[in-house]
Structure 1
């Protein structure tokens, strides 16, 4: 594979992909892969989605794929996008476009047949490289070189690109955290900082979706540190962020061969965790998980031993127990013993012999006293190492 071609990429030989391309490329229309599939192939990263750009208009795309026995779903018809389903796989097919009007959040577009014009309306050079079905690359903006060198660079004037859609401020940091190497592109960095007020115009849903991807990227902590220094995190998170705590947690987890998911990272980053749900439009499940992790951080701050860890696993699960141990260590600078981290990750508790039915059989009546005894017995069972049974009264 050379810088002029990605011939040999697995997705190019995918029968589903070939069916879609064959259906679209009729009567002089062309179809090319663009974006993440090309970028990731160039740098040796896995390819998840294959997006296709074409000169054919959405109605023509829909008619042609339907005639070929494929399913067309008008997922973004106003912006030229038709999702085509072939052999149970989905491909986003978008007509070449030019921007007629932008307001910093969304664009009104006109369909086009100009490949270079379509490339120049995109965000970053590494996302604007096109590939024919045979792997031949088309790069009018220097995206191949930037992808290979790990340089996240805006196409054309960074300020103009950002003012078209202020979400590109967050995308700049997210892409640098995921694909960048070294320091961020200075022109891009200066532009995103100077236009930071544009973040206030974005919906919380769009911000939340982008932050989820950013905080879980490999280079999240350095990118977030730059955002914090520039005052951008204060516009996104209530009270700003504690990047040092997140960096310490990620580093500690890596030293032990562990990884942290979204909720532990948010719990580590947030200063005012109670405002996260609204700020990032977290789901109820995500918000509850953050709160559970924070709650167990409090428990471990008071006392941390094998019994406490087993209780955390029983009540909240292995991942929460591991995350809480790591976050307490990140906050205090005192690492938990390796055996406790191992217990938090590997402990699989047997079914508890402590049940309400057992206590009722012993003579307890339903009510507060039964609940209190259940909690006491469970604590004793956990302290004893979770044996298969306990004698009556223990």
Structure 2
């Protein structure tokens, strides 16, 4: 079967917002082509999120032409040739064709060119270096179409050279395989990634964290992480290494119950040294609090595996926290959680607690530690009783 030569049926090509951007850029002999994810995903039958555009026009010219067409131009990365053009409220990243002058494993100094093949050669994977004209005609300078159709994540040219240009490509290699891979990991790319893993130490925690968030939530995260773990890459990123087997067990349990297992739940399952996880991946305060709650309630549930504790986890942390904690506890114990506990964690909607500080103060308690302790005691008893609408007798 011959490779496709066009993606003319792609819906984004007919989008008036996209057409206006292309019309604004393509003047005075300059060309503009879609590149990267939109082309790759269309070929692979995966939904398209963003539409990125490559062009021969320099970034200042792109900005001027966008403004002349009454489109908003934002210089998001103009030193590297990128201008975000907003059309009908939708952002399109427009980047001038580039050649690398200098690389240090983290960043590149670039020169703008009109060389499409040269621009392709500086990209990471073959499936990300396929270009499409506005009419859908494909241009494939590095053999990316065949790799995209086969789900083969392959570095362009010399894998070692591509990684040494930016060591984040090690994580991107595993992340793209976890997301798009339909065959075994590319042997050449894997060997290069393992050999050059020390380069990850040079990267910022922010860049590593952003990539790991995408990796752990990919459909094929567990097999990719298992390879990374065996090679020592996970331990280089996460303090104490990673509990890939525990993550695998929890994800499997979630799938059997037709439930999702989200980012914070996956990180809580994967992390060994959870105290230092936030620093290692530069987690947000919200992410850290959710992970802390999941870990805490997983410990509480594992010790008892009863309805009262699961119900308490829902009241204190919410359904998502309770469900993630239940699965994490079950994975740690190597057992299937009872169906009624899963249902309780996911579906229980507790009423507002009738036990309040005001009620206790009416009984003679005064603000302070004793009131707080009594409030917690009565609330725990109320939850253990199934959260009745009225206070328990004696409360």
TM-based fold match above 0.5: yes
Give, in whole Å, the separation in 2 of the partners of 1:197 and 1:361. 64
**1:81 pairs with 2:82:** yes
For residue 362 of structure 1, what is the aligned residue in structure 2? 363
Give, in whole Å, the separation in 1 of the partners of 2:171 and 2:394. 58
Preserved CA contact (<8 Å) 2:302 2:330: no
Give, in whole Å, the separation in 2 of the partners of 1:185 and 1:267. 29
Unaligned 5+ segments in structure 2 are none
**1:181 pairs with 2:202:** no
Please give the secondary structure, in 1, of the residue aligned with 2:366: coil
The RMSD of aligned alpha carbons is: 1.2
Please give the secondary structure, in 2, of the residue aligned with 1:282: coil
**1:119 pairs with 2:96:** no
Give, in whole Å, the separation in 2 of the partners of 1:367 and 1:75. 52
Q: CA deviation at 1:148?
A: 0.9
Q: 1:233 to 1:132 in 2, by over 3 A?
A: same
Please give the secondary structure, in 2, of the residue aligned with 1:108: strand
Q: CA deviation at 1:393?
A: 2.3
Preserved CA contact (<8 Å) 2:105 2:163: yes
Question: Relative to structure 2, which stretch is displaced further, 370-379 or 54-63?
Answer: 370-379
**1:344 pairs with 2:345:** yes
Deviations 1:101-160 (A, max 9, x none): 111111000000011110111000000000111111111111111111110000001011
Q: CA deviation at 1:331?
A: 1.0
For residue 389 of structure 1, what is the aligned residue in structure 2? 390
Please give the secondary structure, in 2, of the residue aligned with 1:378: helix
Give, in whole Å, the separation in 2 of the partners of 1:362 and 1:194. 69
**1:8 pairs with 2:9:** yes
Q: 1:267 to 1:52 in 2, by over 3 A?
A: same
Q: CA deviation at 1:367?
A: 2.5
For residue 231 of structure 2, what is the aligned residue in structure 1? 230
Please give the secondary structure, in 1, of the residue aligned with 2:184: coil
Q: How does 1:258-269 map to 2 (within 5 A)?
A: 258-269=259-270
Q: CA deviation at 1:368?
A: 2.5
- After TM superposition, the runs of 4+ consecutive aligned structure 1 residues lying more than 4 A away are none
Give, in whole Å, the separation in 2 of the partners of 1:320 and 1:227. 28
Q: CA deviation at 1:392?
A: 5.6
Give, in whole Å, the separation in 2 of the partners of 1:382 and 1:167. 47
**1:159 pairs with 2:163:** no
Give, in whole Å, the separation in 2 of the partners of 1:229 and 1:359. 56
Q: CA deviation at 1:252?
A: 1.0
Give, in whole Å, the separation in 2 of the partners of 1:393 and 1:109. 75
Q: How does 1:1-394 map to 2 (within 5 A)?
A: 3-390=4-391, 393-394=394-395
Please give the secondary structure, in 2, of the residue aligned with 1:260: coil
Give, in whole Å, the separation in 2 of the partners of 1:114 and 1:391. 77
Deviations 1:55-80 (A, max 9, x none): 00001000000000000000001100
Unaligned 5+ segments in structure 1 are none
Q: CA deviation at 1:391?
A: 5.1
Deviations 1:71-105 (A, max 9, x none): 00000011000000111000000000001111111
Deviations 1:153-195 (A, max 9, x none): 0000101101111100000000000000121011111111111
TM-score (normalizing by structure 1):
0.98
Give, in whole Å, the separation in 2 of the partners of 1:228 and 1:380. 44
Deviations 1:193-213 (A, max 9, x none): 111111111111111111111
Deviations 1:240-270 (A, max 9, x none): 1111111111111101101111111111111
Please give the secondary structure, in 1, of the residue aligned with 2:84: strand
TM-score (normalizing by structure 2):
0.98
**Count of residues in Structure 1 that have an aligned counterpart in Structure 2:** 394
Question: Relative to structure 2, which stretch is displaced further, 80-89 or 327-336?
Answer: 327-336
Please give the secondary structure, in 2, of the residue aligned with 1:257: coil
Give, in whole Å, the separation in 2 of the partners of 1:154 and 1:355. 61
Give, in whole Å, the separation in 1 of the partners of 2:320 and 2:392. 31
Give, in whole Å, the separation in 2 of the partners of 1:368 and 1:172. 54
Deviations 1:280-313 (A, max 9, x none): 1111211121111111111112212111111100
Preserved CA contact (<8 Å) 2:98 2:119: yes
Give, in whole Å, the separation in 1 of the partners of 2:304 and 2:393. 28
